[in-house]
A and B are shown apart, each in its own frame.
Chain A
Amino acid sequence: MKNIWTIAKKEWHYLFTNPLGYIFAGILLLVANWLFFGDLFLIGQAEMKNYWGVMTFLMSIFVPAIAMGVIADEKKSGTWEVILTTPINEIELIAGKMLGVGMYLALVVGLSWPVAATLALIGRPDFGQMVGGFLGAMLLAWAYLALSVFMSSLTNQSIVAFLSSTVILLVNSLLGQEGIAGKFPSLIKNILTAVSLNARASMFTNGLIEIGSLVFFVSWILIFSILSVLSLKARDK
């Protein structure tokens, strides 16, 4: 556990001693707020549903950008060779990376609180829906992170990790949308919706905290974390 925390602290520290962490968080929140508040008074509803819609789309680009170098850069520079010859194993390394970047993403999602506070001031929002929205956005960010870390573990080129993660996440998001999934036969439509991260997260932003979706997110995060560990171990082959 100590090793996981050591790596997590290193990742966290890196994101806050590097302009990258501030730039990405700043741009994400700025664009999400700008798009949300631009339409808020036209819609006339005190709810964050549209905010999360914008946020989750932006995160499908933002999270891969933050996570692209998590393993790929270590491989490229050779630092993973130093780290993995200290008393730390691959599971601890991946868990530490996930925890460090995951805490950063939780902070970024948490920084959406002024939106919630503003809505509470000007209207009567549904607080259950708001809490669900925060939870859904965090789970979605962590699921995006797990996939992005896995893609980063497959290469030593961070740009390859970024592009492949973004494409997969955008396709996953698009195929889960009613307009696209609805064009397929019902069985395929059901599968596409079931594996769509955004479709799952939208249940939370609607205020529905469903156990099945919680299990889905946890499973997704675990599966891609395990795949990342296996990918690191494959250096022996």
Chain B
Amino acid sequence: MYAVSKIRKKFGEKEVLKGISFELKDSGVVGLLGPNGAGKTTLMRVLVGFLKANEGDISWDKAKIETKSTEYRKKIGYLPENNPIYPTSTVVEYLELIANLKGIDNPKTEIGKVIVDCGIKDVIGQKIETLSKGYRQRVGLAAAIMGGAKLLILDEPTVGLDPKQIIEIRELIKSLAKDRIVLFSTHILPEAKAICDRLLLIDKGKIVLDEAPSKIKNLEKKFVELTS
């Protein structure tokens, strides 16, 4: 069980996260929804340790976590918005870099595994700048799951993809969530409904809805009601 408790984050005087709390089970897809500026990206950055919360705790199996610790970072995978990766590297060079930084003992075996899991075997020797956006997302996901990440945090992973690529990435996300938690943000409500086991709606730095999509009759209406 992964638990986030009363997370607050301020930038100067502006409080962006106002006491966020939720718990996540060990597997499944959890959608993080919210209008622009609601605090989704900031929350994700706090959860992955890129930013430090001003207040609040994160715990895993009841053990309190320091998000900057090596141990924690080895257990998480992160795909930021727009999937930033080095364009002049080849796919395999990029994966080797991430494998080395994650301190993976047998990088070649691990790279072989994620290449298969993410379906990028055909492009491993190609430079990232030559890949389609769909393949770039797959490379970003492969890097994120490397080392057997138990928590995968994806910031708008389907933005900018064509419909076929969106379907492929959704399927990939679902398959990755079989043995890990996937927390992903999106603006696309039908997408959230289609692949998420649970939805967290965030507005003005607070969780305003925490529900399974099957229990929400009209998500669009609910979204407008709770965020207006």
| Chain A residues engaging chain B, CB cutoff 8 angstroms | 2-3, 6, 10, 13-14, 17-18, 77-79, 81-89, 235-237
Knowing A87-B101, A236-B51, A237-B11 touch, does A81 contact B80 (C-beta < 8 A)? yes
Q: Which of B11, B97, B102, B143 contacts A87 (CB 8 A)?
A: B102
Which residues in A have their C-beta under 8 angstroms from that of B103?
2, 87
Closest to B101 in A: A86
How many angstroms from the CA of A237 to the CA of B74 in the assembled complex?
Answer: 25
Residue of B73, B74, B101 with most chain A CB atoms under a 10 A cut-off: B101
Q: Are B88 and A2 in contact (CB under 8 A)?
A: no
How many angstroms from the CA of A102 to the CA of B211 in the assembled complex?
Answer: 53
Interface secondary structure of B, over-half rule: loop
Judge if B219 is at the interface, Cβ distance under 8 Å. no
Q: Are A3 and B101 in contact (CB under 8 A)?
A: yes
Interface secondary structure of A, over-half rule: helix
Judge if B108 is at the interface, Cβ distance under 8 Å. no
How many angstroms from the CA of A82 to the CA of B143 in the assembled complex?
Answer: 9
Q: Are A85 and B86 in contact (CB under 8 A)?
A: no
Which residues in A have their C-beta under 8 angstroms from that of B81?
78
Q: Are A78 and B82 in contact (CB under 8 A)?
A: yes
Q: Which of B42-50, B56-64, B195-203 contacts A (4 or more CB under 8 A)?
A: B42-50
Q: Are A78 and B80 in contact (CB under 8 A)?
A: yes
Task: Find residues 34-78 in chain B having any chain A CB closer than 8 Å to their own CB.
Answer: 45, 48-52, 68, 70, 73-74, 76, 78
Closest to A93 in B: B101
Which residues in B have their C-beta under 8 angstroms from that of A3?
100-101
Judge if B163 is at the interface, Cβ distance under 8 Å. no
Residue of A79, A83, A86 with most chain B CB atoms under a 10 A cut-off: A86
Q: Mark B15-28, 1 if CB is under 8 A from A, else 0.
A: 00000000000000
Judge if B3 is at the interface, Cβ distance under 8 Å. no
Task: Find residues 96-116 in chain B having any chain A CB closer than 8 Å to their own CB.
Answer: 97-98, 100-103
Q: Are B12 and A85 in contact (CB under 8 A)?
A: no
Which residues in A have their C-beta under 8 angstroms from that of B51?
235-236
| Chain B residues engaging chain A, CB cutoff 8 angstroms | 11-12, 45, 48-52, 68, 70, 73-74, 76, 78, 80-82, 84-86, 88, 93, 97-98, 100-103, 143
What are 30 pairs between A and B in contact, CB < 8 Å? A2-B103, A3-B100, A14-B86, A14-B88, A18-B88, A77-B84, A78-B80, A78-B81, A78-B84, A79-B86, A81-B45, A81-B50, A81-B80, A81-B84, A82-B78, A82-B80, A82-B84, A82-B85, A83-B101, A85-B48, A85-B49, A85-B78, A86-B102, A87-B70, A87-B74, A87-B101, A89-B68, A235-B50, A235-B51, A236-B51
How many angstroms from the CA of A143 to the CA of B48 in the assembled complex?
Answer: 34
How many angstroms from the CA of A82 to the CA of B86 in the assembled complex?
Answer: 10
How many angstroms from the CA of A77 to the CA of B78 in the assembled complex?
Answer: 15
Q: Are B50 and A10 in contact (CB under 8 A)?
A: no
Which residues in A have their C-beta under 8 angstroms from that of B73?
85-87
Which residues in A have their C-beta under 8 angstroms from that of B70?
87
Tell me the minimal C-beta distance from A229 to chain B in angstroms.
14
How many angstroms from the CA of A13 to the CA of B90 in the assembled complex?
Answer: 12
Closest to A14 in B: B88
Q: Are B76 and A85 in contact (CB under 8 A)?
A: yes
Q: Nearest 7 A-B pairs (CB), nearest first?
A: A78-B84, A87-B70, A86-B101, A6-B100, A85-B48, A87-B73, A79-B84
Closest to B87 in A: A77
Q: Are B50 and A85 in contact (CB under 8 A)?
A: yes
Q: Are B68 and A86 in contact (CB under 8 A)?
A: no
Which residues in B have their C-beta under 8 angstroms from that of A237?
11-12
